[in-house]
Amino acid sequence: MIEEVKNSLRVNGSDLDVELQDLIDAAKADLILSGVNKDKVLDTDPLIKRAIILYCKANFGYDDINMAERFQQSYTSLKTHLTLSAEYTVGDSI
């Protein structure tokens, strides 16, 4: 997941890997705290990946505050959709 985040942020090298991993972990924790089932927060799910990337873009430290706000709004909107979907909030039945 970190490589995909780095690509979306246009970051090269590994100098910021710790900070980016912290953002990825925070995004996942925020989704779970908001009501997304922890078993659904998978790096392979396209909507979860998009939410994580948007969260990272919103919180990475853009100089342009308008861009950060737009990414935050997009993340919040996607998170809302995920938390309203039974597919993402209900655990798998055995």
- Tens of pLDDT along the chain (94 residues) come to 999 999 999 999 999 999 999 999 999 999 999 999 999 999 999 999 999 999 999 999 777 889 999 999 999 999 999 999 999 998 654 4
Task: Return the residue matching tokens 């935050």.
Answer: 72
Please state, in angstroms and as integers, the Cα–Cα distance from residue 6 to each residue in 18, 55, 58, 70, 80, following that order. 12, 13, 14, 19, 25
What is the pLDDT at residue 86?
94
Separation of alpha carbons 24 and 27, rounded Å: 5
What tokens does 10 get? 């246009």
Q: The pTM is what?
A: 0.91
What is the pLDDT at residue 92?
58
Torsion on CA atoms 78, 76, 24, 35, rounded to nearest 10: -80
